[in-house]
Structure 1
Amino acid sequence: MSSNRKYDNVLVFGPTGDVGGLVALEAHNRGAKVWLAMRDITKPIPAIPTDVEKTGNFVRVQADLSDAASVARAVAESGVKAVYMYIVHGGADFGRAALQVMRDNGVEYVVFLSSYSVKGEGNALRALPPTNWIPYEHAQVEITIEDIGFPYFTTLRPAWFASNYFRTGLDRSAKPPKAILIAGYEDKRLFDNVTPEDVGAVGGAVLVERPSDRKETIWICGPDTCSPKEGWELVKKVTGRTDIETILVPAEQFIAATVAKGIPQVLVDSLLSSYERWQGGYEAEPEFKVGMANIAKYAGRAPMTFVQYLEAHKAEWAAI
């Protein structure tokens, strides 16, 4: 095991995603050699500029968290002791096979992208029911990491991503696209709009410099809470996409349309359960207050506001 908490050689799964790419970039900026574990090593990595990757200390390696043999090869080739990973939705073993070969090949420290909806530790995690799939599934991975016996473990528990408006809240089959609001929740203060940039910065920071010698749970929350309706009004105002129409749909219609896109119904049902649980807002929760402070604590800068995030991503909105 490491005699200190600094890692200068790390492996990042999922760098083509919003958060994974930013974790990799932050780890690199903090001086680490970063192995980019990808299913397809020819794919572009949006978060890492091409010139930065070419001149920096990055290495692409083929690996898939659902394929334990490829994970074992990547860990053995890289020789890393610290790994960042995300959840593979629908995996039957909650990542156990991949995690076991990581441990067998010398990994001592895991940073896992979990969810704000996971509450508690220890026995509280094991008591979460599978009927609420999002927290249950993430909790099972946390439990697996602990059961396998990694000496060190950090779990990131971010709340509502600012990127969800662009990634999942938009019906792009229409031209111009339409924003979908679920009837009954449109005016509830459900979202904190934490940015992938902030989650990635925290994740990359703690991947390179382990925060403690025990399991560390890091809540990550954005500084702005708003309702879905308010959020979409800001999207249109800041990005200039005033042509986007907001459509109010019943929950049943939203579920059917989302499942039709290939998202498992258990995930959609769990999302609506979260809406129901937090429809009064979660600003009063202790995790929320800690989560806002954690961005400055670990990333060393103030949280990015939702407006700042939208300003930075205007080009993406203009292109749809």
Structure 2
Amino acid sequence: MNLLDAMTAYVRVAELGSYTRAAETLDLSRTRISRLIMELESHLGVRLLQRTTRRLHLTEAGESYLARAQGILQALEEAEAELGAGSTEVCGRLRVNGPMSFGMRFLSPVIARFMLEHPSLEVRLDLNDRRVDLLEEGYDLAIRIGELPDSSLVARRLARCRMVPCASPEYLARFGEPRTLAELAEHRCLRYRTASGTDWQFGSERLAVHGPLESNNGDVLTQAAEAGLGIAHQPSFLINESIKSGRLVPVLVEEASVTIGIHGVYPARRHLPAKVERLLDFLAEAWGDPPEWEREMGLSPLAQ
């Protein structure tokens, strides 16, 4: 039995309350996880988990061992981070999560370049638009865009981007270009749906808009705007190619645009693992401030 592997398996099962979810985060089979914990219990001579048909329960010995095992694994991780800080080699496994549209356009190409520079690194990159639990799901790093809720996680801003109202030349030829926010509110607006609603923000002003389409996916709204269905209010990274090609045209560029942050978020640790720190530095340099896609669009520099 590899004691470290067994300890790691036990901690993940205890934290997640599931053999299956622990197996997913550790990239092992459920059978292997079960075997490791059985071997650990045999090695210790105590029962750590009570298994029922519906859930797992930690025994008193299991609770005590969990606290010690968590401390040991944390200490090992910090020791590796301290050694890694002085090494140029980035290796091991790295689990990263990011939003779908941004991830496809700007995260995955940069990670590919990072991996070419560090061939000993293995990366699992998951893209989705739900807010993942880094600790519960075993991620080392997540890329999050917009306001961050209060949490125990640490956030580092890597780049900023603007929200840009835009429409197709065909739509503007047919309905006219809005010159004020009041005029904009009278147009056919394509709305992104969030938990806080579908209003658009310009500086400190919140604008109620209406139109034929709302969606929780920015690519859907970009395609609808290109088709001439209405005016969209999109983050610059979603529309840079459309603006460059002329399929969309920015409107109301003189209005105070909202700037949103693009952050790297990771669990709080005394020592940040070298692989995470190096990737954060690499992403920040690759995207830039102002970000590369806004420079390509010819937007004016962001105010500090």
Bigger strand fraction: 2
Tell me whether the two structures share a fold, i.e. TM-score over 0.5.
Answer: no
Normalising by structure 1, what TM-score?
Answer: 0.25
Of structures 1 and 2, the one scoring higher in RCO (CA 8 A, sep 6+) is 2
Which has more radius of gyration? 2
Task: Report the TM-score when normalising by structure 2.
Answer: 0.26
